[in-house]
């Protein structure tokens, strides 16, 4: 399994005021979408999220998003290494994802661009 990149997940109180800072920091425009009542802005290596506290509480448990070529392969490798897949794989607007808890207890999201 090759890791293609990592996205840092940042929960913010006010997405509208946070986006301009991160656009200037990352040198690019935010791509925005909504998922499960949470407003999301992807800017460079940052994934900004804002929404109901109950939703953000769950999202804060995921340390980072890791891009891979194939989520199915990631599922296999993670399982072989002793990680526990806690959700997915599922389709998303951008591809597929899964959540995995590593043996140390840290939770990561793995994503691919396959539809």
CA–CA separation, 23 vs 47, rounded Å?
Answer: 11
Q: Is the pLDDT of residue 115 over 70?
A: no
How does residue 58 score in pLDDT terms, banded at 50, 70 and 90? confident
CA–CA separation, 98 vs 87, rounded Å?
Answer: 5
What residues contact residue 48 under an 8 Å CB cut-off, 6+ apart?
10, 12, 15, 18, 19, 22, 30, 40, 41, 42
pLDDT the model gives residue 104: 95
Instruction: Find out whether 107 and 86 touch, Cβ atoms under 8 Å.
Output: yes
pLDDT the model gives residue 92: 80
- 66-107: per-residue pLDDT in tens? 999 999 999 999 999 999 999 989 998 778 999 999 999 999
- 2-39: per-residue pLDDT in tens? 999 999 999 999 999 999 999 999 999 999 998 888 99
- Residues 10, 19, 65, 31: what is their CA dihedral angle, to the nearest 10 degrees? 160
Instruction: Find out whether 94 and 113 touch, Cβ atoms under 8 Å.
Output: yes
CA–CA separation, 74 vs 59, rounded Å?
Answer: 20
pLDDT the model gives residue 50: 97
């Amino acid at each position: 399994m090759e890791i293609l990149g990592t996205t840092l997940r940042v929960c913010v109180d006010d997405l509208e005021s946070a986006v301009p800072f991160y656009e200037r920091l990352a040198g690019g425009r935010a791509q925005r979408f909504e998922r499960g009542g949470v407003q999301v802005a992807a800017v460079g290596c940052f994934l900004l999220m804002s929404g109901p506290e109950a939703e953000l509480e769950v999202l804060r448990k995921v340390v980072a998003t890791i891009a891979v070529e194939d989520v199915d392969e990631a599922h296999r490798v993670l399982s072989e290494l002793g990680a526990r897949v806690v959700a997915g794989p599922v389709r998303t607007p951008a591809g597929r994802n899964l959540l995995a808890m590593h043996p140390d207890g840290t939770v990561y999201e793995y994503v691919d661009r396959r539809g």
